[in-house]
Amino acid sequence: MTMTHQEPLLAIEDLHAAYGLSRVLFGVSLQVDAGECVCLLGRNGVGKTTTMRSVMGFLPPTGGRILWKGTNIAGWSPHRVARAGIGFVPEDRRIFAELTVWENLDVAARAAKRDGKWTIKAVYELFPILPELRGRRGGFLSGGEQQMLTIARTLMGNPELLLLDEPSEGLAPLVVEALLVHIRALKKQGMTILLAEQGVDFSLALADRVYVLEKGTIRYTGPAGELRDDQKLRNHLLSL
Ligand SMILES: Nc1ncnc2c1ncn2[C@@H]1O[C@H](COP(=O)(O)OP(=O)(O)OP(=O)(O)O)[C@@H](O)[C@H]1O
Ligand SMILES: [Mg+2]
5 band by pLDDT with thresholds 50, 70 and 90: low
Give percent above pLDDT 70 in the chain.
98
Asked if 56 contacts 10 with a C-beta cutoff of 8 angstroms, the reply is no
Ligand 1 center from residue 49 Cα (angstroms): 7
**pLDDT score at 239:** 74
Phi-psi region of 169 (alpha: psi -120 to 50; beta: other; left: phi over 0): beta
Confidence grade of residue 4 (pLDDT, cut at 50, 70, 90): low
pLDDT band at 2 (very low <50, low <70, confident <90, very high): low
Ligand 1 closest atom vs CA 166: 27
Ligand 2 mean position, distance from CA 48 (Å): 5
User: What pLDDT, in 10s, does the model give residues 165-189?
Assistant: 999 998 999 999 999 999 999 999 9
Average the pLDDT over 9-36 and give the result. Answer: 97
How far is it, in rounded angstroms, from Cα 209 to Cα 205? 11
User: In the prediction, which pLDDT does 3 show?
Assistant: 53
CA 19 to centroid of ligand 1, rounded, Å? 9
Specify the pTM: 0.94
Per-residue pLDDT tens over the stretch 72-110: 999 999 999 999 999 999 998 889 999 999 999 999 999
Work out the end-to-end distance of the chain between its first and last CA atoms, rounded to an integer number of angstroms.
41
How close is the Cα of 164 to the center of ligand 2, in Å? 10
Domain-by-domain residue ranges, the chain? 8-80+198-240
Nearest CA among 35, 77, 33, 37 for reference residue 55: 77
Which residue has the least CA distance to atom 30 on ligand 1?
45
* pLDDT at residue 58, as a whole number: 97
Q: Which of 22, 24, 88 to mutate to test the pocket of ligand 1 (most atoms within 8 A of CB)?
A: 24
Q: What's the whole-number mean pLDDT along residues 14-27?
A: 96
Which atom of ligand 1 is found nearest the CA of 51? 18
Which numbered ligand comes closest to the C-alpha of 53? 1
CB-based pocket (< 6 A), ligand 1 = 19, 22, 24, 42, 44-50, 166, 198
Around Cβ 124, how many Cβ atoms within 10 Å?
A: 18
CATH class label, 8-80+198-240: alpha beta
Q: What band does 237 get if pLDDT is binned at 50, 70 and 90?
A: confident
Nearest CA to 198 out of 160, 169, 219 is that of 169
